Structure 1
């Protein structure tokens, strides 16, 4: 922003013109909204001639509107004082530096430093307008005007632009411009804009994802579509560690709901009558089923993103849950209320056991792998014993989980696998051909049992042989 006297010879005279450009109607301030009796660019009443010039174009194309780089506009000092910049420039302190023509018009020059000459003209026109709502009618207009209003210290215009920008949606490109303008504003002027583009804390994105996950699995009737949408958000989310924290938290919360429901079912309050007790147990089973399905979906998302480490460990540290499930599956009530509950629970177990076997999640601690089989093998066995004959679709699930348990057992020390393999005899069926996975597991164990252990320190043995 440069205010100086007119008469600068650096701009060729043929490029100077009096500005009479007709702007779009939306940018033309209605005279009825102006409290001044003066008209914009009125030569007959003006007492200030403002020259706008642009020195940024070193090689102007004179054949294509080059006169836009230098214009003169007739203005009124009483109106210009709405801008603190012009108010100071036209004050007595600076009058001696301002050229005056024969008709006592002050001549002032202003170099374009933000946007185009038309943008400056728009702001100058707004000096003649009291109500900006008819003029500032789009974000593009507001963000083109705002930098110039700030430059000219035109506070009313600044407030009007900011108010409009705060209230309407932005495109992505407009948002980038708004963010670049925020540092130019006073703190109290940009609080609302900052709140819109800046998170309240560093975990805001994670909190939002947690809320979306919980809404998708708990509160929506079209859960399948909501889950699919949230799953896509999780896949596209850029920070894997944030996704891990989000899914871990929702997994633990959902697992807690499953556990509480089964605990309430397994330990009913006998102080109430039998009818009420049965009604409450039905409710607990329905709640366990609903949250079990949610838990399975969350586990699938964790595996998809490769962040199921915590889920594997937590699933192996459930002392009461496997016991409560066994008790529930031995009852008759669940079969008519939630017949799919065993399948949901065993699918959760199978999903987590498979990522351990595949190496996708390295459960490097022996006790994690051993406890996964040790705690959940009884649940599998009780489920097989108590699921009705009509639910033959569970056969493939049972076989998959049995094979997975046997593979995990093969990763354990022989003393541990010996103990677990005795528990796996329940995998045997009517004939040997029905359980090849069990045959393979026992053959592997006996083959290893017959082997002589390799030397503990081969290098030491070689050294000893050389010495002899």
Structure 2
């Protein structure tokens, strides 16, 4: 900002508008887009996820990082809940093969979203911003019931079980070790899981 006056530019406002963000939420929006790109779109996901995790780790504002990751976690968890609900109670009136096709599609969505959730939770734990995620994860009775039904219907689908149990175990371990503060109800549930 100190270099603008010595440059003697005709339009320093234009230069400042390029350097300085117009909105306060520009950084949050940029980080949100990076997280979404890492978990959704990029074909070489591991490298991009590592890059984004390092950006988040080195970001100056822990509160912005927490907001970005909490938002991504909430969206992914909501998608997972919706797809598990759709599997258990298909919203279609048709032939059995149509219902089975819909269930396969929603099962795939649940699996992909579970991979995203695991990465998000691991990143949140690494950065020390998983406090709200622990509480939200522990309050998923409906999702647990739907997942139990999915596990009973599709025993072969062990990778989904591993992903979701990995999420639960990571959070429970952090709570039990005292790295994440949680309410008494969450702690008692976490200790039973371990």
Q: Shared topology, TM-score over 0.5?
A: yes
Counterpart Cα distance in 1 of 2:122 and 2:92: 38
Length-normalised TM-score, structure 2: 0.92
Match of 1:303 among 125, 143, 156: 125
Q: Does 1:368 align with 2:190?
A: no
Change beyond 3 A, Cα 1:406–1:274: closer
Q: Deviation per CA, 1:282-331, whole angstroms, max 9, x where unpaired?
A: 11011111110011000011110111001001011112111111111110
Change beyond 3 A, Cα 1:228–1:276: same
Q: Deviation per CA, 1:249-271, whole angstroms, max 9, x where unpaired?
A: 11101111111110100101351
Partners of 2:176 and 2:187 within 8 A in 1 = no
Q: Does 1:216 align with 2:38?
A: yes
**Runs of 4+ with deviation above 3 angstroms:** 179-182
SS at match of 2:158: coil
Question: Which residue of 1 is the match for residue 165 of structure 2?
Answer: 346
Normalized per residue, the structure richer in strand is 1
Question: Which residue of 2 is the match for residue 293 of structure 1?
Answer: 115
Change beyond 3 A, Cα 1:176–1:217: farther
Length-normalised TM-score, structure 1: 0.40
Q: Deviation per CA, 1:27-79, whole angstroms, max 9, x where unpaired?
A: xxxxxxxxxxxxxxxxxxxxxxxxxxxxxxxxxxxxxxxxxxxxxxxxxxxxx
**Alignment of structure 1 residues 194-213 onto 2, 5 Å:** 194-213=16-35
Counterpart Cα distance in 2 of 1:254 and 1:277: 24
Q: Where do 5+ consecutive residues of structure 2 fail to align?
A: none
Normalized per residue, the structure richer in helix is 2
Counterpart Cα distance in 2 of 1:361 and 1:253: 22
Q: CA deviation at 1:240?
A: 1.1
Counterpart Cα distance in 2 of 1:342 and 1:181: 62
Q: Does 1:405 align with 2:167?
A: no
Q: CA deviation at 1:225?
A: 1.1
Higher relative contact order at CA 8 Å, sep ≥6: structure 1 or structure 2?
Answer: 2
Note the aligned Cα RMSD (angstroms): 1.9
Q: CA deviation at 1:185?
A: 5.1
Partners of 2:169 and 2:193 within 8 A in 1 = no
Match of 2:64 among 214, 231, 242: 242
Change beyond 3 A, Cα 1:190–1:263: same
Counterpart Cα distance in 2 of 1:218 and 1:358: 32
Q: CA deviation at 1:405?
A: 2.6
Change beyond 3 A, Cα 1:406–1:201: closer
Counterpart Cα distance in 2 of 1:197 and 1:350: 44
Question: Which residue of 1 is the match for residue 175 of structure 2?
Answer: 356
Q: Deviation per CA, 1:83-129, whole angstroms, max 9, x where unpaired?
A: xxxxxxxxxxxxxxxxxxxxxxxxxxxxxxxxxxxxxxxxxxxxxxx
Q: CA deviation at 1:220?
A: 1.0
Counterpart Cα distance in 2 of 1:317 and 1:339: 23
**Alignment of structure 1 residues 72-221 onto 2, 5 Å:** 177=3, 179-181=4-6, 189-221=11-43
Larger Rg: 1
Count of residues paired in the alignment: 194
Question: Which residue of 1 is the match for residue 53 of structure 2?
Answer: 231
